Amino acid sequence: MNKERRATAKMIKIDPSIVLTVQDLTKTYTIGNSTITALNKVNLTIRKGEFIAIVGPSGSGKTTLINCLGALDFPDSGKIIYNVDAKGMGLDIMLMTNKQHKKMRLRKIGLIFQFYNLFPILTAYENVELPMVIDKKDPKLRKEKVKNLLKRIGLEERMEHLPTQLSGGEQQRVTIARALVNDPLIILADEPTGELDTETTTNIMKIFLDLKNAGESILMVTHNRRIAEVADRIITLTDGEFISEKNGGKPIKEIYKF
């Protein structure tokens, strides 16, 4: 990451129903003499309570997009404007310092990855609590929040388990709770069901749909076109460009017969 970044981010008025808007986002990687365009002028707007799926072949730029939106990487050009106060005051994270980026990641963005990324020496409870500890939240508030979230995802009986004492699906549920613990503006999930069997995938998708129905905004990358169908919108990325968009919203019962 560029350590020379200066604080130039200014508040921009945006439509309050928008959570995130991306304009002409471009990211290239250069290795030796070759340059790869991972994202080529991508445009995207996500509104509050929307569930969007991104599909596309391997190497099409899906993870690069999640990393840029998740403030884990800096694009070359374009804009990534988050409705930071949730009332229509936007900030372009491209113009933030590393410190501001860090705060965005901690407070405003809930990240979920394919391989769970839980701390192996912390219990399920402690893993969920960690972002609140880093953010120096009040211990009483932490306890209440973490217990409620673990209950919400059906893991209150497993809170003292270490990640190795949990199934893959349970570990992914812990990461969902961890992503939600600081009340983010949006959940960004990169292949959240990539390691899971069909039944567990269905359970995770049901949790995502419950979250969406409770007003959360979700952007999910998936290889699985069937599960993408449950999202409100399905966007196909090819060679770093958005090539098509279609409506989803298919009931999960029609996708998996159970």
Number of H helices, E strands in the chain: 8, 11
The answer to the question of residue 236 lying near Mg ion (CB under 5 A) is: no
Pairing type for strands 77-83 and 18-31 reads antiparallel
Q: What whole-number distance in Å separates Cα of residue 193 and Cα of residue 203?
A: 10
The answer to the question of residue 63 lying near Mg ion (CB under 5 A) is: yes
The answer to the question of residue 105 lying near ligand ATP (CB under 6 A) is: no
Which range, of 44-52, 56-64, 104-112, 247-255, touches ligand ATP by CB under 6 A?
56-64
Please work out the total of residues on this chain that contact Mg ion, with binding judged by CB under 5 A: 2
Please work out the total of residues on this chain that contact ligand ATP, with binding judged by CB under 6 A: 12
Site for Mg ion in 118-177 (CB under 5 A): none
Q: What whole-number distance in Å separates Cα of residue 223 and Cα of residue 54?
A: 9
Query: Which position among 7, 59, 160, 165 is part of the footprint of ligand ATP (CB under 6 A)?
Result: 59
Task: Name 3's Cβ contacts closer than 8 Å, sequence gap at least 6.
Answer: 98
Q: What whole-number distance in Å separates Cα of residue 181 and Cα of residue 171?
A: 15
Six-digit token pair at 187? 């959940």
Residue with Cβ nearer ligand ATP (56 or 110): 56
Residue 63 beta carbon to Mg ion: minimum distance, rounded to whole angstroms: 3
Residue 45 beta carbon to Mg ion: minimum distance, rounded to whole angstroms: 22
Residue 241 beta carbon to ligand ATP: minimum distance, rounded to whole angstroms: 12
Residue with Cβ nearer Mg ion (21 or 60): 60
Query: Which position among 64, 123, 217, 236 is part of the footprint of ligand ATP (CB under 6 A)?
Result: 64
Instruction: Determine the straight-line distance between the first and last CA of the chain, rounded to whole angstroms.
Output: 46
The answer to the question of residue 67 lying near Mg ion (CB under 5 A) is: no
**Residue bearing tokens 């990451």:** 1
Residue with Cβ nearer Mg ion (50 or 190): 190
The answer to whether the beta carbons of residues 191 and 221 sit under 8 Å apart is yes
Task: Name 180's Cβ contacts closer than 8 Å, sequence gap at least 6.
Answer: 110, 149, 187, 211, 216
The answer to whether the beta carbons of residues 129 and 207 sit under 8 Å apart is no
The answer to the question of residue 1 lying near ligand ATP (CB under 6 A) is: no
By the criterion CB under 6 A, which residues form the site for ligand ATP? 29, 31, 36, 38, 56, 58-64
Q: Applying CB under 5 A, which residues contact Mg ion?
A: 62-63
